[in-house]
Structure 1
Amino acid sequence: MEHRVDPKLALRFGLYEVDLVQGVLFRQGVRLKIQEQPFRILALLLQRPGEIVTREELQESLWPEGTHVNFDGSLNAALKKLRAAIQDDAENPRFIETVPRQGYRFLAPVHSVNGSRNSISPSTSVSPESSEECFEVRMRLNPEFSPERAAELSRERKMAERAARWIDFSLLSGAIAFGSWLLFFIVYPVPRPSVQRMTRITNASGIDEWGGIVSDGTRIFFLERDGGHWNLMQTSVEGGNAEKMPAPFENTRLFALSPDHSQFLIGQFTRRDDEMPLWLWPVQGGEPRRMGEAVGHDPTWSPDGSQIIYVRGRSLYTIHPDGTQLRELAHGPGLPHFPAWSPDGETIRFNMDKRDDGTQAVWEMAADGSGLHAILAGGRPLASQSAGEWTADGRYFLYSDCENYDCNLWGIREAWNWFRRSHRDPVQLTHGPDSLHVDIPTQTGSRVFAFSFRSNRELQKIEPRSHHAETLILNANAEVASISPDGQLALYTDRPDGSLWRSSVDGAQRLRLTQPPLVASAPHWSRDGKQILFTGVRPGFLRQIYFLSADGGALRAVLPESREASDADWSPDGTQIVVSMREQKTQPKFGIY
């Protein structure tokens, strides 16, 4: 379809043709590329051929009032592009003449076009009147160049400029805000948790850490060993004398308090290592109620009180408080201990004791038993030798980790902070001198209850007849001593690193027999005093029984590394040894061999 142009709206000069309606420029029928501002300058000059068009007129036409632009530079750039499009030269102009200090004048004759662009007939030269007529027609027919449209375009440009300035301001403000956040995020991370103060609540030599700690917010409850019997004790969280409290059984262990503080979760036991029947006992006293057929250890409540989780063998079970809905939740690769529920009830963590490789670590799973896995911290399993528990607000997970008998409280941050950088590596919260065990830590606000132990030992000799005690070795770190058959030498282990030492009974002539990381315990002399039998454990291995010359030297294992053994001793004639071994089954079995 042929493109037809009103002869009054199309102009021709030289080999060029201009369509004022479409805003296009042709050279011998070929459309040329030209930008808007150069074209508008050309249109204005063509409407007034032979006349001077001042720079002020061009400025008013191209840039409405209020436009902020480098006018001189922009106009010169637009004229340069226009001259390039029509192959004109500023020094020897054929079309556009520069009038110094005034403006510009179009030199060539300008004709209107009859018919289509492809059928051009010459016409008379455009006089000022006809030029004005052409300009008026174009203004009437092309809305883009009408006064109303020009005003509208001016308003639109102003609005666009304001929007652009607002966008620029918003982007700049956003960049400043992001930079400030990033700087604050990097330079001012969330402070690492720390222990501000440690307060002694009670001081008793008979406390059995195996019994754990339970608190109702005003009191704490724990077990105290009394010979072959255990007493249930209580004291104020602010400290004071501990008092014995009535218990429903001869040996009663308190595991947990229900979320509504109405019932204790307790166990009835004879020996510490036995699985025990689980009961519910009203806080106000009265008869305990058996919790279905549940038998195990380390039970605890879910945050909403609707379920109880406990351990039996290698499995974790859940049961409703009324004894119904008993089911196996998960079965692990080791022996689980101390399950803990997150405050939101979504996650369960527990300590996994893998007897096949001697490791202990914190494991995690969802509340429905799915997603069982070891927790990694710093690319390695999170080690723990006792219970772990979330703080009441769920921001930190606290646990105890031990090295060479010395245990400390550790914490790892759980909640992510979007405004400040958070450290995810475990943080050691305590650094001795006391050894801290948090078997079942309890939080009340920002407080944490834990067992603390400090060794103060000395080897003493007691005369049976006179009952006179004489200190032989004064060493707060020495323990598990054994006297040689001739009474001249002593064996003991040193707590800081678990090494085995030999010395004279007065503490002189000390000789280190083993080196870390082997941790020695339970040393025994042979009947002739030439060999030593002891229990040793290395990180990542099972406990083992070793032979060692009384003068030191190489160690010799009694059993293969795949068998766990401990607590060995010589027979009276020195030809045999007796040893305690543990078989790795679903229900671990201990035996003496």
Structure 2
Amino acid sequence: MPGEAANGVIRFGIFDVDLRAGQLRRNGLKVRLQEQPFQVLSMLLERPGEVVTREDLHGRLWPADTFVDFDHGLNAAVKRLRDALGDSAENPRFVETLARRGYRFLAPVEFPSVETSPAQRPVAPNTAISSASKSRWRLVAAGLMIVLLALGFGLHVGMRASRALQPVLPKEIRLTANSPDAPVYFGAISPDGRYLAYIDPRGAFLREIATDESHALSLPEGFRVHHVSWYPDGSHLLAEAVAESEEHSGLWNIPLLGGAPRKLVTEGEAGSVSPDGKQLAFLRGDKFNHSEIWLTSTDGGEPRMAVNVPGFVIGPPAWSPDSQRFVYLKDVYWPGYGTEDVQIEMYELASSKTDLILNDYRLQYGLVWTRDNRILFSRAEEPPNQGESNVWSLKVDTRPGWRWGAPVRLTSGPDWKPVINMSADGKHAVFIRTNIAPAVFVADVDARTREIGKLQRLTMDERQSRPYEWTPDGKSVLYVSDREGTLHIFRQQIGAATPELVAGVQGSPNILRLNPERTEILYLTEAERKSAEAGNGAPSSQNSNVAGHSAANTQPEGEFQSRNLRLMRVPLDGGISQLVLEDSGINNFQCARLPSRECLYSKYTKDALVFYEFDAKSGAKKELLRTSEPEWQYFNWSLSPDGRTLALAKKMRASAEAEIRLVLTRGGRQRVLKVKEWGRLATIDWAADGKSFWASAVRHGETTALINIDLQGHAKSVLQETKPYVGWAIPSQDGKHLAIWEATGGSNAWMLEVPPAW
């Protein structure tokens, strides 16, 4: 870089960087920037337009013998740099994040030459200027004026032409204004664009968009709707729903002009109607490692399986305008294994051929195939904006060969934005804008009645925070949060405004517990990816955003990428982390309290959930038990404070009566508790005295509540919420307090109004 070598100054836009002085200037004024963010900027400017890896930055910022939470430090440095530049990760002008790789400097860079000082400049001779010289300068000035006018006119025309060539993005319009107590779960716009059908905790509603008038759909008592789409005639809804007397979802035809819902398909989910009104596509399959996409006529007749998908299909299939194809979102997932790829795939009915359209691990719920052959989808942003997603568009070239354009972002700003559906004329699309995230609350517990006091919110930010432990004195909660961009462990005292970061934690922890002595924090963090089976050559998701690739799905069913996890320990007050053990597929771990030193962890294998006992210091382990009974993937568990009893309950699947299975860790007969009137226990944790359980439960009728269950199976509701989710409850060691995570935030339906020039 000759300019940098000459005077150490680099210029981009309105900024100058003086590498020798270590200064950043904006329009000549100094901008305050700490040393590490400045070092990041210097490295990026050394290689503008090129990828600077996280490893390279690590080597520059921290010597090899320095112990530091590198991920946290680098993310913080990049955030400070962006703040100084007025840049954003969501819409970068200067610093672009490349997922899992590093960063790239985007703006053009200049290296101004050395300016000569006034003493070095040549002095003009002191002579009179002749009239001929004056005449020549007048001609030069006139010519210069003509050139400037021509340039100005050309610039004006060019700017107008440039604006005309730029894509005109859709306008975002809010459709519902529900409060956080009644978040909109789902919405679908009618084919004529006049009505919005939507679902919230109160039921299903129909809203006239022009007048903002809403009314509840007339449905039988106990009829619970989870998902809706429209028939092309606009007078019927296709609904995924559960009738009062049933346990599993089915597909129903709901007439809007009067009449009772009519069941079309038993055990079907996420249905969509083809544009020609002749077929339904819907999902079946109750396994993590595969889903089935089925087709049937619009009256539910002649059902047949179209695609057996090796992976988990997210959301309903989206039909092509000619009803000859559909696309779907596939997530290759297995309990305890990492998601390597999320893909948009296309299925052609005539040939039964499956083609890959887009491969991006950031893809989120929702697909739409528009009448002008664009595919709308939702994609998550990179850290530190990982709590946000936006709607994107991908142009489809339907000529032989099927080519795809480059993705174009249609929305901006915070929140999650799953895209749902579009009107028949292609002018209006509906998406949900939601900022619902778990927050930590605390409450006092009455030891005699097991009632809890008023909830007090502990975490006041809008990031995701989940509690896992209390400090031994019962005054502070230990929780995992992404409040600083990536996941870290924090400790926050009851009543305190802000938390303390637990120093020395490596990586991004996702679970934490205390050791039996209550002197160290044990936590899980991802180590590295490795093949779940020898010789598995499945591709990585490093090459995201792959559009235009068309290939049949060749991934063998049953092959997945495992997560190799490290169980680490760090002093309760922070310090140096040490490795306890490393294994793949770990999904949970817990330790008893002294005098017991029992610690357990569980891991998913291909065909079983396996439990191991381990030593919290040495990491020595041995298998305790395994289960491969039907739906073993759904087991959640908790270890009693004395380490003698393992309690297991199946989450995510409703049954006539919820059950808790009690297994003795030293052998003996199992016992089963029947929890009457509750169909599903989403979470389960032992109370501090080991005489009852705290559980997040769902009553028949889908009322979510926090309940206390005694050892005879008697349940008592202590907190009932209409919000989307009540998470687990962690008792303090003395049993006087609970730390609860509960969903907070709002969710509403929005509409994209597509301009004619789109």
TM-score, shorter chain, exceeding 0.5? yes
| Structure number with higher strand proportion | 2
Amino acid corresponding to residue 547 of structure 1 in structure 2: L
Per the alignment, residue 406 of structure 2 pairs with 425
Q: Deviations over 1:462-509 (max 9, x none)?
A: 456895766644333252134333223532311563412223423243
Per the alignment, residue 435 of structure 1 pairs with 416
Per the alignment, residue 494 of structure 1 pairs with 482
Q: Deviations over 1:178-212 (max 9, x none)?
A: xxxxx9xx989964452433435322325566645
Does the CA contact (< 8 Å) of 1:329 and 1:369 recur in 2? no
Distance 1:463 1:224, change over 3 A: same
The TM-score with structure 2 as length reference comes to 0.44
Whole-angstrom CA distance in 2 between matches of 1:479 and 1:399 = 24
Structure 1: 5+ residue stretches without partners: 1-182
Whole-angstrom CA distance in 2 between matches of 1:432 and 1:260 = 35
Structure-to-structure mapping, 1:392-471, within 5 angstroms: 392-401=371-380, 403=382, 404-415=386-397, 424-438=405-419, 440-443=420-423, 445-454=426-435, 459-463=440-444
Per the alignment, residue 462 of structure 2 pairs with 476
Which one of 250, 258, 261 corresponds to residue 277 of structure 1?
Answer: 250
Q: Quote how far apart the aligned CAs of 1:457 are.
A: 7.7
Distance 1:590 1:509, change over 3 A: closer
Amino acid corresponding to residue 201 of structure 2 in structure 1: R
Per the alignment, residue 501 of structure 2 pairs with 510
Whole-angstrom CA distance in 2 between matches of 1:512 and 1:221 = 49
Does the CA contact (< 8 Å) of 2:282 and 2:295 recur in 1? yes
3-state DSSP of counterpart to 1:368: coil
The TM-score with structure 1 as length reference comes to 0.55
Which one of 514, 518, 522 corresponds to residue 532 of structure 1?
Answer: 522
Matched, 1:367 2:349: yes
Q: Quote how far apart the aligned CAs of 1:350 are.
A: 0.3
More contact order relative to length (CA 8 Å, sep ≥ 6): 2
Distance 1:317 1:459, change over 3 A: closer
Amino acid corresponding to residue 471 of structure 2 in structure 1: S
Distance 1:548 1:416, change over 3 A: same
Per the alignment, residue 49 of structure 2 pairs with none
Whole-angstrom CA distance in 2 between matches of 1:532 and 1:451 = 38
Per the alignment, residue 336 of structure 1 pairs with 313
Distance 1:571 1:210, change over 3 A: farther
3-state DSSP of counterpart to 1:385: strand
3-state DSSP of counterpart to 2:228: strand
Q: Deviations over 1:208-252 (max 9, x none)?
A: 6664545453232222236xxxx2233333574754333234312
Q: Quote how far apart the aligned CAs of 1:557 are.
A: 8.8
Does the CA contact (< 8 Å) of 1:200 and 1:239 recur in 2? no
Per the alignment, residue 68 of structure 1 pairs with none
Whole-angstrom CA distance in 2 between matches of 1:522 and 1:305 = 48
Q: Quote how far apart the aligned CAs of 1:458 are.
A: 6.3
Which one of 285, 292, 305 corresponds to residue 277 of structure 2?
Answer: 305
Amino acid corresponding to residue 394 of structure 2 in structure 1: I
Distance 1:591 1:237, change over 3 A: same
Does the CA contact (< 8 Å) of 1:535 and 1:567 recur in 2? no
Q: Quote how far apart the aligned CAs of 1:264 are.
A: 1.6
Per the alignment, residue 31 of structure 1 pairs with none
Structure-to-structure mapping, 1:65-104, within 5 angstroms: none
Q: Deviations over 1:242-272 (max 9, x none)?
A: 543332343123421111123221223389x
Which one of 202, 217, 236 corresponds to residue 263 of structure 1?
Answer: 236
3-state DSSP of counterpart to 1:436: coil
Does the CA contact (< 8 Å) of 2:238 and 2:272 recur in 1? yes
Q: Quote how far apart the aligned CAs of 1:310 are.
A: 0.9
Whole-angstrom CA distance in 2 between matches of 1:496 and 1:328 = 46
RMSD: 4.2
Distance 1:351 1:470, change over 3 A: closer
Whole-angstrom CA distance in 2 between matches of 1:522 and 1:219 = 44
Which one of 635, 639, 643 corresponds to residue 591 of structure 1?
Answer: 635
Per the alignment, residue 250 of structure 1 pairs with 223
Does the CA contact (< 8 Å) of 1:212 and 1:255 recur in 2? yes
Distance 1:200 1:232, change over 3 A: closer
Distance 1:578 1:302, change over 3 A: same
Which region of structure 1 is more displaced relative to structure 2, 576-585 or 188-197? 576-585
Distance 1:371 1:521, change over 3 A: same
Matched, 1:196 2:171: yes
Whole-angstrom CA distance in 2 between matches of 1:213 and 1:514 = 44
Does the CA contact (< 8 Å) of 1:201 and 1:238 recur in 2? no
Q: What is the total number of aligned residue pairs between the two structures? A: 390
Does the CA contact (< 8 Å) of 2:236 and 2:256 recur in 1? yes
Distance 1:401 1:459, change over 3 A: closer
Higher gyration radius (CA): 1
Does the CA contact (< 8 Å) of 1:490 and 1:503 recur in 2? yes
Matched, 1:221 2:221: no
Q: Deviations over 1:59-98 (max 9, x none)?
A: xxxxxxxxxxxxxxxxxxxxxxxxxxxxxxxxxxxxxxxx
Q: Quote how far apart the aligned CAs of 1:309 are.
A: 0.8
Per the alignment, residue 93 of structure 1 pairs with none
Per the alignment, residue 261 of structure 2 pairs with 288
Does the CA contact (< 8 Å) of 2:368 and 2:377 recur in 1? yes
Structure 2: 5+ residue stretches without partners: 1-157, 286-290, 447-451, 530-540, 542-560, 609-629, 638-758
Amino acid corresponding to residue 421 of structure 2 in structure 1: P
Identity %: 17
Q: Quote how far apart the aligned CAs of 1:386 are.
A: 0.8
Which one of 297, 308, 322 corresponds to residue 320 of structure 1?
Answer: 297
Whole-angstrom CA distance in 2 between matches of 1:285 and 1:567 = 50
Whole-angstrom CA distance in 1 between matches of 2:274 and 2:607 = 30
Does the CA contact (< 8 Å) of 1:531 and 1:547 recur in 2? no
Whole-angstrom CA distance in 2 between matches of 1:513 and 1:207 = 41
Whole-angstrom CA distance in 2 between matches of 1:214 and 1:525 = 49
Does the CA contact (< 8 Å) of 2:362 and 2:380 recur in 1? yes
Q: Quote how far apart the aligned CAs of 1:373 are.
A: 2.5
Amino acid corresponding to residue 511 of structure 1 in structure 2: V
